[in-house]
């Protein structure tokens, strides 16, 4: 016999408009073991919480059912509420009548009937709940940050400054990310390198940061507070512990590879640093363009290296680290615009994508900051096409958020560096951000031609070879236009990194429709993920500008700190256990568990579960032929009772 209190929340009108809440509370009062049932406007507010705590004492309740929003929203809140009133937190049951009832129907009859069934199920289940004790575990104080763009750098520095040790893992041979490729940043037009390179140097110098460049995370085991991570150090063929960064090798190297850093606009050497301000300033050898690796002879770099740092025999190595929390900040890719054949990218040399143009503007770029076409001539007319692949249901439905602003920045820089006519072809001008509308207004006065209409097609002029014709409809005048230009700049959709799928699987992250990492809650937990102890920051969560990225990085650092600042933390008590009296010793559980939590005790001839390794999925419980395994909080009895309750109404 238990004493259950049921608390029905109106959630303002969110629930109350489609569920007759007072009728639900009256219904609850008639259910077995329910001693008090109430409804209230906002159960999560202070008066609501106090009401629950008061009733626990007043009616000597030993179970509490809160009929409100999703458990994913407020289960933790209400667990704390009942715990503070002296009840074990696992004696709480949440009935989700908002996300899964009132928000998915407009029919009050249906909504109320379904709520009753769900509540009945909850009462049946609640009667069988047992108090559980949370596990307390040690927390490793270190943090790993994956991705060393501006988000990763900022998060790493922030954590390192608090005294925490940070492993900063970067797949490229330099840190810096996309921001290091830019020349100017909107809307202030301040120099990207001037604000980023000092931070890159801070990372290099910081005693608390272990910078792992040219590395990839290959395995993640463990759980919040205790992650065991394997990192692959890809072979650089240069021993960085010996290299003194004289870069004599890069001068002598006859090999030619395509510069990834310069977006394939120019060639680079086979032994190289990506750009002069790279961190670390030490080169790597690209096997695919190195003459020795391709033809078996050369070794010029080895000859000029006084430090004897060149090592053609070098292999990939693996590094094991342990951390308490992980921040993922792997950034973005630009959508490949080649499949959008109507824009002629990859076909006409005069068509560029936005990152290529960023490199053209950059004084450390392939043209030393001069705007010239691939044939070396200065363009006399330029069209910038917004929303290529974004805001487009055929490709990426989302708005990539930064393109309007960087396209305006391009227009300004084109005006500054050339005497070209500049056209902006846009669907809508989105200038939501501090100083952005002002920047747009400023550009309107810079003699840039704004055409409200999406660029539809780029073709080559039949009269003037090499000239491009941009076709579009000006939606303000409803006129079809053909604009002859020398250069076309595409602003493609920002899409998740090609490897984000692998990272998601490695870390158990969910991805949204577009493939960006999903946050635990879009508003209240935008940096947390479904995997506890793993946080996300920057564009890998969704397109955003540099200020927002930096803000997220700082937030993620603070989130990670809330975990690693403590020596110990509590983990969910919802693990599995074996009842040795009924274990038949088949070892099914040992075979299926992905975490190796169950082990067979050969002396006692029964399986035993190591609670520290158990994540509480319940798989073992359902493969146990003798029902000897109990999945705490999700026992067979509890689930079956809930089902019975649900099916009664």
Partner 1 sequence: MSFEPRILGIACNWCTYTGADLAGTTRLHYPQNVRVVRVMCSSRINPSFIFRAFQLGADGVLVGGCHPGDCHYNTGNLYARRRLATTKKILEFAGLEPGRLRVEWISASEGNKFAEVVEAFTTQIKNLGPQTKLKIPQ
Phi-psi region of 579 (alpha: psi -120 to 50; beta: other; left: phi over 0): beta
Q: Which is nearer to partner 1, 120 or 259 (CB)?
A: 120
Q: Any idea which residue has 């809140």 for tokens? A: 77
Token output for 546: 């540099």
The site string for partner 1 over 567-586 (x = CB under 8 A, - otherwise) reads -------x------------
Picking from 26, 199, 11, the residue whose alpha carbon sits closest to that of residue 100 is 11
Please provide the DSSP assignment of 118-140 as one string.
HHHHHHHHHTT------EEEE--
Q: How far apart are CA 328 and CA 541, in angstroms?
A: 9
Q: Which of 2, 105, 291, 307 binds partner 1 (CB under 8 A)?
A: 105
Q: Which is nearer to partner 1, 481 or 646 (CB)?
A: 646
Distance of CA 606 to the CA centre of its chain: 42
Q: Which of 3, 41, 103, 250 binds partner 1 (CB under 8 A)?
A: 103
Please state whether beta strands 381-388 and 351-353 pair in parallel, antiparallel, or not at all (unpaired): unpaired
Closest distance between partner 1 and the C-beta of residue 647, in Å? 4
**With binding defined as CB under 8 A, does residue 634 bind partner 1?**
yes
Residues 504-523 contacting partner 1, CB under 8 A: 504-505, 508, 510-513, 518, 522
Q: How far apart are CA 471 and CA 446, in angstroms?
A: 23
**With binding defined as CB under 8 A, does residue 616 bind partner 1?**
yes
Q: How far apart are CA 473 and CA 453, in angstroms?
A: 5
Picking from 617, 596, 598, 594, the residue whose alpha carbon sits closest to that of residue 608 is 598
Helix (H, G, I), strand (E, B) or coil at 532: coil
Cis link prior to 152 (omega < 30° from 0)?
no
Helix (H, G, I), strand (E, B) or coil at 413: helix
Distance of CA 268 to the CA centre of its chain: 32
**With binding defined as CB under 8 A, does residue 590 bind partner 1?**
no
Closest distance between partner 1 and the C-beta of residue 134, in Å? 16
What b/e string do you get for 593-605 counting C-beta neighbours within 10 Å, with b at 16 or more? beeebbebeeeee
Q: Which is nearer to partner 1, 44 or 191 (CB)?
A: 44
Distance of CA 495 to the CA centre of its chain: 12
**With binding defined as CB under 8 A, does residue 592 bind partner 1?**
yes
Q: Which of 101, 385, 429, 589 binds partner 1 (CB under 8 A)?
A: 101
Q: Which is nearer to partner 1, 485 or 617 (CB)?
A: 617
Binding piece for partner 1, criterion CB under 8 A, among 271-279, 410-418, 458-466, 641-649? 641-649
The site string for partner 1 over 461-500 (x = CB under 8 A, - otherwise) reads ----------------------------------------
**With binding defined as CB under 8 A, does residue 435 bind partner 1?**
no
Q: How far apart are CA 503 and CA 499, in angstroms?
A: 6
Q: Which is nearer to partner 1, 191 or 506 (CB)?
A: 506
The size of the interface with partner 1 (CB under 8 A), counted in residues, is 53
Distance of CA 492 to the CA centre of its chain: 20
Q: Which of 285, 485, 617, 628 binds partner 1 (CB under 8 A)?
A: 617
Q: How far apart are CA 638 and CA 360, in angstroms?
A: 65
Angstrom distances, CA of residue 248 to CA of 82, 133, 244, 272: 69, 63, 10, 10
**With binding defined as CB under 8 A, does residue 250 bind partner 1?**
no
**With binding defined as CB under 8 A, does residue 393 bind partner 1?**
no
Closest distance between partner 1 and the C-beta of residue 349, in Å? 39
Residues 42-71 contacting partner 1, CB under 8 A: 70-71
Q: How far apart are CA 186 and CA 548, in angstroms?
A: 13
Q: How far apart are CA 171 and CA 169, in angstroms?
A: 7
Q: Which is nearer to partner 1, 121 or 492 (CB)?
A: 121
Closest distance between partner 1 and the C-beta of residue 617, in Å? 4
Closest distance between partner 1 and the C-beta of residue 221, in Å? 11
Picking from 335, 377, 405, the residue whose alpha carbon sits closest to that of residue 184 is 405
**With binding defined as CB under 8 A, does residue 636 bind partner 1?**
yes
Q: Which of 23, 33, 83, 99 binds partner 1 (CB under 8 A)?
A: 99
Closest distance between partner 1 and the C-beta of residue 340, in Å? 25
The site string for partner 1 over 521-560 (x = CB under 8 A, - otherwise) reads -x-------xx-----------------------------
**With binding defined as CB under 8 A, does residue 341 bind partner 1?**
no
- Alpha carbon distance, N-terminus to C-terminus of the chain: 22
Q: Any idea which residue has 């009256």 for tokens? A: 26
Q: Dihedral of CA 293/294/295/297: which sign?
A: negative
The site string for partner 1 over 360-389 (x = CB under 8 A, - otherwise) reads ------------------------------
- Say if residues 92 and 74 touch (Cβ distance below 8 Å): no
**With binding defined as CB under 8 A, does residue 88 bind partner 1?**
no
**With binding defined as CB under 8 A, does residue 96 bind partner 1?**
yes
Closest distance between partner 1 and the C-beta of residue 69, in Å? 9
- Say if residues 159 and 561 touch (Cβ distance below 8 Å): yes
Q: How far apart are CA 359 and CA 372, in angstroms?
A: 11
**With binding defined as CB under 8 A, does residue 107 bind partner 1?**
yes
**With binding defined as CB under 8 A, does residue 618 bind partner 1?**
yes
Closest distance between partner 1 and the C-beta of residue 562, in Å? 22
**With binding defined as CB under 8 A, does residue 118 bind partner 1?**
yes
Closest distance between partner 1 and the C-beta of residue 106, in Å? 6
Q: Which of 111, 149, 257, 455 binds partner 1 (CB under 8 A)?
A: 111
Interacting residue ranges for partner 1, rule: CB under 8 A: 70-72, 96, 98-101, 103-107, 110-111, 113-114, 117-118, 121, 504-505, 508, 510-513, 518, 522, 530-531, 574, 592, 594-595, 615-619, 621-623, 631, 634, 636, 639-640, 642-644, 646-647
């Amino acid at each position: 016999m238990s004493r259950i209190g049921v608390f029905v929340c109106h959630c303002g009108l969110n629930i109350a408009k489609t569920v007759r809440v007072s009728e639900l509370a009256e219904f609850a009062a008639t259910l077995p073991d329910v001693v008090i049932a109430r409804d209230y406007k906002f159960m999560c507010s202070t008066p609501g919480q106090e009401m629950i705590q008061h009733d626990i004492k007043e009616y000597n309740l030993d179970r509490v059912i809160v009929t409100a929003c999703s458990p994913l929203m407020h289960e933790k809140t209400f667990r704390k509420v009942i715990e503070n009133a002296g009840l074990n937190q696992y004696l709480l049951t949440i009935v989700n009548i908002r996300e899964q009832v009132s928000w998915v129907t407009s029919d009050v009859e249906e909504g109320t009937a379904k709520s009753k069934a769900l509540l009945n199920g909850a009462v049946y289940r609640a009667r069988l709940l047992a108090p559980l004790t949370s596990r307390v575990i040690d927390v490793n104080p270190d943090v790993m940050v994956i991705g060393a763009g501006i988000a990763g750098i900022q998060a790493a520095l922030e954590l390192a400054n608090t005294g925490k040790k940070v492993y900063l893992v970067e797949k490229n041979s330099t840190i810096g990310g996309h921001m290091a490729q830019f020349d100017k940043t909107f809307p202030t037009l301040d120099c990207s390198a001037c604000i980023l390179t000092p931070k890159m140097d801070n990372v290099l110098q910081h005693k608390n940061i272990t910078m792992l460049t040219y590395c990839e995370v290959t395995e993640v085991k463990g759980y919040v507070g205790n992650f065991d991570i394997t990192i692959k150090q890809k072979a650089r063929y240069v021993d960085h512990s010996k290299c003194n960064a004289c870069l004599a090798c890069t001068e002598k190297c006859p090999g030619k590879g395509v510069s990834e850093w310069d977006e394939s606009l120019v060639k680079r050497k086979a032994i190289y640093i990506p750009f002069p301000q790279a961190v670390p300033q030490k080169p790597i050898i690209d096997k695919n363009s190195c003459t020795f690796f391709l033809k078996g002879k050369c070794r010029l770099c080895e000859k000029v290296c006084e430090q004897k740092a060149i090592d053609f025999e070098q292999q990939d190595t693996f590094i094991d680290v342990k951390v308490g929390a992980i921040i993922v900040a792997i950034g973005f890719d630009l959508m490949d615009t080649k499949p959008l054949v109507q824009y002629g990218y990859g076909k006409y040399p005069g068509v560029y994508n936005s990152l290529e143009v960023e490199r053209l503007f950059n004084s450390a770029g392939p043209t030393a900051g001069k705007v010239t076409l691939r044939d070396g001539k200065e363009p006399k007319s330029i069209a910038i096409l917004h929303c290529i692949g974004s805001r487009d249901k055929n490709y990426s439905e989302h708005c990539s958020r930064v393109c309007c602003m960087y396209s305006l920045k391009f227009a300004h820089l084109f005006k500054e560096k050339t005497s070209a006519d500049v056209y902006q072809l846009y669907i809508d001008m989105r200038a939501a951000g501090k100083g952005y509308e002002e920047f747009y207004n400023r550009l309107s006065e810079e003699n840039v031609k704004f055409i409200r209409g999406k660029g539809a097609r780029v073709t080559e002029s039949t009269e003037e070879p090499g000239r491009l014709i941009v076709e579009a409809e000006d939606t303000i005048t409803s006129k079809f236009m053909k604009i002859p230009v020398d250069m076309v700049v595409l602003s493609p959709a920002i899409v998740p990194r090609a490897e984000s799928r692998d990272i998601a699987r490695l870390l158990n992250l969910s991805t949204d429709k577009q493939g960006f990492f999903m946050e635990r809650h879009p508003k209240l937990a935008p940096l947390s993920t479904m995997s506890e102890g793993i946080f996300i920051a920057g564009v890998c969560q969704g397109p955003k500008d540099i200020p927002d990225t930096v803000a997220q990085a700082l937030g993620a650092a603070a989130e990670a700190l809330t975990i690693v600042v403590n020596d110990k933390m509590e983990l969910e008590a919802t693990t599995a256990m074996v009842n040795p009296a009924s274990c038949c010793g088949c070892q099914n559980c040992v075979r299926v568990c992905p975490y190796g939590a169950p082990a067979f005790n050969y002396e006692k001839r029964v399986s035993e579960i190591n609670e520290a390794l158990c994540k509480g999925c319940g798989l073992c419980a359902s493969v146990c032929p003798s029902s000897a395994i109990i999945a705490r909080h999700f026992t067979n009895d509890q689930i079956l009772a809930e089902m019975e309750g649900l099916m009664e109404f």
